[in-house]
Structure 1
Amino acid sequence: MTESPKSLVERRSIDVVPDAERHGRAFSQFTLWLGANLQITAVVTGALAVVFGGDVVWSVVGLALGNVVGGAVMALHSAQGPKLGLPQMIQSRAQFGVRGAVVPLLLVILMYVGFFASGSVLAGQATAELTHTGDTTGIVLFAAVTAVTAAVGYRVIHVLGRIASVVCALAFVYLGIRLLDRVDLSALLADARFDLPVFLLAVSLSASWQLAFGPYVADYSRYLPRTTSARATFWWTLSGSALGSQWSMTFGVLVAASAGGVFLDDQVAYVVELGGTGLVASLLYFVIALGKLTINVLNTYGGFMSMVTSIGGFRTQKEISPRGRAAYIGLIMVVGTTVALLGKDSFLTSFKDFLLFLLTFFTPWSAINLVDYYLISKERYDIPALFDPHGRYGAWRWDALTVYGVGLLAQLPFLVTHFYTGPLVDPLGGADVSWIVGLVVPALLYWLLARRAPATGGLAQDGMGG
């Protein structure tokens, strides 16, 4: 199945993008991830650092540290795209086996459907205001636009990112000026008080935010020409994602420090009221919907890729018809919209906490994938074997799955959520450092085991192709 270099509608899914269809520049990663992060949920994430007891200065510093560290891990995944020409999660077959990769994949699908739902609630409120309808209609309309955009695919997603990066940046400049008119910035900056557990919480909030992009970030760099510099892809991805999220989160910190519960009670209404009334209010509702559309399309597209990868591992499927593509995306839309409608009044607060808990499952995956790709396989995979359960990577890689399981368990003593707190949290003053443990422990274990495995089997793969 071929695709014209000028075609708007994408035809490829988990199959390799041939050189003839590669296009674009690494700078496209900057605009996409800047636009995806200049949005209201990132603002709320930044506000939580203050809500949980942080001051303005150390909350901003902690969030910046987490965005850089987590963003660097995420950007290392992005750099894999141009080299391999494959979506992100298909690469997991090299570590976990062609069918074993379904273990992290199922959790990825669950998380991104959940993010679709939670994002649709906020965006649905903005859409309802724009269309003068109710929240339910707004959520459904927003979900439909998301699904159509994701179905068209890669090119329109990057166009959307470029538009959102400009429109949302201008809106945030305007909102920032309006906010600074309301707050006594010098007083907020003077009230700096370092508290290690609260500081580490801010780091964890932003690091987790960045790590959530890991399972699909290469989906949006895989069409770049094979000659694209890995360094350029890394830095443009990191700078766009870290700058966009830090900008939004810093705004959230200042909002929470000055408005507190007024903002958290109704985030959309507060932001719009901050900007003004009439035409300005309508424009801000549009900006909120646009920002959420950008990230929700990424979640839908990534969820679609993960579903195809999961099912394809058992059917040795490489390509998918436009009708099949629409069916997968439609399923994500229906499930995500149903969850959004059921939880739009009260459920989503606890559901978001559950989604953050799911991030626990992706730090070990990220560690294993990066160690294997950069240190063990040296950026080379036997691509045909990724689609053959009887090939060199096998159907199930129990050694890697065991390391993954150990990585999960290692995080539990350090984890902090509303429904579970690990036994080592109190000795650390209440700080959540589980994501650090989830990166370090499986990375070290996988590297040690891979170094001992024979070059033709086990964990060590010195694959060809890419």
Structure 2
Amino acid sequence: MAAEDLVERRSIDVVPDDERHGTAFSQFTLWLGANLQITAVVTGALAVVSGGDVVWSVVGLLLGNLLGGAVMALHSAQGPKLGLPQMIQSRAQFGVKGAVVPLLLVILMYVGFFASGSVLAGQATARLMHTDDTAGIVVFAVVTAVMAAVGYRIIHTLGRVASVICALAFVYLGIRLLDRIDLSALLGDAHFDLPMFLLAVSLSASWQLAFGPYVADYSRYLPRTTPGRSTFWWTLSGSAIGSQWSMTFGVLVAATAGDAFLTDQVGYVVGLGGAGLIASFLYFVIALGKLTINVLNTYGGFMSMVTSISGFRGQRTLSQRGRAVYIGLIMVAGTALALLGKDSFLTSFKDFLLFLLTFFTPWSAINLVDYYLISRERYDIPALSDPRGRYGAWRWDALTVYGIGVLAQLPFLVTHFYTGPLVEPLGGADVSWIVGLVVPAALYWLLARRDTQHIPEETVYVLASPRER
């Protein structure tokens, strides 16, 4: 394949049929590779650190990964049908300009996850290069930006490579860990505690729901004839298996290592594996796993920035130079935050990012209800770029439901800097994500089904000629 064919030309514009390629299985390898990484390990560990036992933490994490993963995979199934990035579809619900409301928060999430991921990946990169963490973070950020600029094909290639290499590494680390621990004793110490169980469910469900703004970006090049069911199941299985594998490892590590792991996640995992060449390989695996997800953060962040700005400019396409500028902005912002937070506020910053998830679950609920129940997969794609078209500039019904969905979660939310008044009666469990899905889904369905005049009889892919209009 020539270099010019490798570098992606599309951005927010629809992918034409003659450029579609691949199979739904590509979603499995991408999301498996993206979830076999150290931040997922830490997420699983938090279930035990917070007070849960091994057995019910693993069960709760599995339930959350399946529930949240199903919602995320429903977004992925939209990609082949519409051929569009995930967030530009939001204009059909919120309006061409109104979609900027959830988009701004999504961009903040992308930059934040880029920063927090770069800290751990920078540590691993620094050990490989025998330099300090600052240099490791900068090198890692540059590599991430270059791969994101190349685009779709290299992202999926990276996912395939990471899914194999990281899986082999996790098998090896799992064997090493089981040699050190008394698994039967851990399994025998099961004691069900509802708040801790719900916490485990929330941790993994929130992990999966955070991928909602990503997924259609990486399925939109699949042929239009790709069955939605295939895209759904391959996406769900890759993401759920990868995250559950990583999180279960984290549960076992936290139950046996405790503070030794939490104070130095990278160092502990590498030390578990061995020294010398093995240690170097594990540092590489950690960096590779984080590279996979950070490339997705960078790519999705640039897509969301373009979608936000183009809604006000009427822009339908983006030049290669424009792509590079947007990707550079994401890289610089994320790297700056990573360098600021590498020694101090990283834990609080992660907590802030989890707080941002409060703003994504209502968006997810509205998007899915509109796509599958109201519009029934029928959209006017050219109208998504026209504020005077059928979707208008601002759709206040959806924006109002979105605001209600955000506010409805606050009484049930648990973070270090804010805890809702209904958390204590529930035993300390955070069920805000359930409220954030159910309430706006029900409200939007009740409102949107009353006015369906803006829905085309079938999906419109190209702008009609003046005579046809």
- Normalised TM-score (structure 2): 0.97
Q: How does 1:116-131 map to 2 (within 5 A)?
A: 116-131=114-129
Indicate conservation of the 8 Å contact 1:149/1:157, yes or no.
yes
Q: How does 1:41-440 map to 2 (within 5 A)?
A: 41-440=39-438
Question: 1:464 offset after TM fit, Å?
Answer: 2.7
Spell out structure 1 runs of 4+ moving beyond 4 A: 3-6, 460-463
Indicate conservation of the 8 Å contact 2:66/2:240, yes or no.
yes
Query: CA 1:328–1:6 in 2, change beyond 3 Å: closer, same or farther?
Result: closer
Q: Distance in 1 between matches of 2:41 and 2:325?
A: 33
Indicate conservation of the 8 Å contact 1:5/1:22, yes or no.
no
Q: Distance in 2 between matches of 1:443 and 1:209?
A: 20
SS at match of 1:7: helix
Q: Distance in 2 between matches of 1:274 and 1:321?
A: 47
Q: Distance in 1 between matches of 2:351 and 2:33?
A: 24
Indicate conservation of the 8 Å contact 2:383/2:391, yes or no.
yes
Cα deviation 1:173-222 (Å, max 9, x = unaligned): 00000000011000000000000001000000000000000001000000
Partner of 2:21: 23
Question: 1:465 offset after TM fit, Å?
Answer: 2.3
Cα deviation 1:275-326 (Å, max 9, x = unaligned): 0000000000000000000000000000000000000000111111111100
Q: Distance in 1 between matches of 2:431 and 2:460?
A: 37
Mean CA deviation greater in 6-15 or 308-317 = 6-15
Indicate conservation of the 8 Å contact 1:5/1:20, yes or no.
no
Cα deviation 1:56-76 (Å, max 9, x = unaligned): 000000000000000000000
Question: 1:380 offset after TM fit, Å?
Answer: 1.0
Q: What letter is aligned with 1:434?
A: S
Structure 1 residues without counterparts, runs of 5 or longer? none
Q: Distance in 2 between matches of 1:200 and 1:75?
A: 22
Question: 1:347 offset after TM fit, Å?
Answer: 1.1
Q: Distance in 2 between matches of 1:205 and 1:334?
A: 29
Indicate conservation of the 8 Å contact 2:377/2:459, yes or no.
no
CA RMSD of aligned residues (A): 1.2
Match of 1:456 among 447, 453, 458: 453
Q: Distance in 2 between matches of 1:318 and 1:332?
A: 21
Q: Distance in 2 between matches of 1:462 and 1:47?
A: 49
Partner of 2:465: none
Cα deviation 1:437-464 (Å, max 9, x = unaligned): 00000000000011222x225xx67663
SS at match of 2:421: coil
Cα deviation 1:252-282 (Å, max 9, x = unaligned): 0000000001000000000000000000000
Structure 2 residues without counterparts, runs of 5 or longer? 462-469
Q: What letter is aligned with 1:218?
A: A
Indicate conservation of the 8 Å contact 1:153/1:301, yes or no.
yes
Indicate conservation of the 8 Å contact 2:40/2:246, yes or no.
yes
Q: Distance in 2 between matches of 1:296 and 1:24?
A: 23
Q: Distance in 2 between matches of 1:239 and 1:386?
A: 31
Partner of 1:7: 5
Q: What letter is aligned with 1:309?
A: T
Mean CA deviation greater in 375-384 or 35-44 = 375-384
Indicate conservation of the 8 Å contact 1:377/1:463, yes or no.
no
SS at match of 2:5: coil
Cα deviation 1:353-392 (Å, max 9, x = unaligned): 0000000000000000000000000111011110100000
Q: Distance in 2 between matches of 1:461 and 1:404?
A: 24
Cα deviation 1:410-442 (Å, max 9, x = unaligned): 000000000000000011011100000000000
Q: What letter is aligned with 2:453?
A: T
Query: CA 1:4–1:75 in 2, change beyond 3 Å: closer, same or farther?
Result: farther
Q: What letter is aligned with 1:450?
A: A
Q: Distance in 2 between matches of 1:357 and 1:196?
A: 22
Query: CA 1:136–1:75 in 2, change beyond 3 Å: closer, same or farther?
Result: same
Q: Distance in 2 between matches of 1:279 and 1:366?
A: 44
Partner of 2:466: none
Indicate conservation of the 8 Å contact 2:20/2:222, yes or no.
yes
Indicate conservation of the 8 Å contact 2:62/2:204, yes or no.
yes
Q: What letter is aligned with 2:62?
A: A
Indicate conservation of the 8 Å contact 1:366/1:439, yes or no.
yes
Q: Distance in 2 between matches of 1:343 and 1:231?
A: 41
Q: Does 1:465 align with 2:437?
A: no
- Normalised TM-score (structure 1): 0.98
Indicate conservation of the 8 Å contact 2:124/2:284, yes or no.
yes
Q: What letter is aligned with 2:326?
A: Y
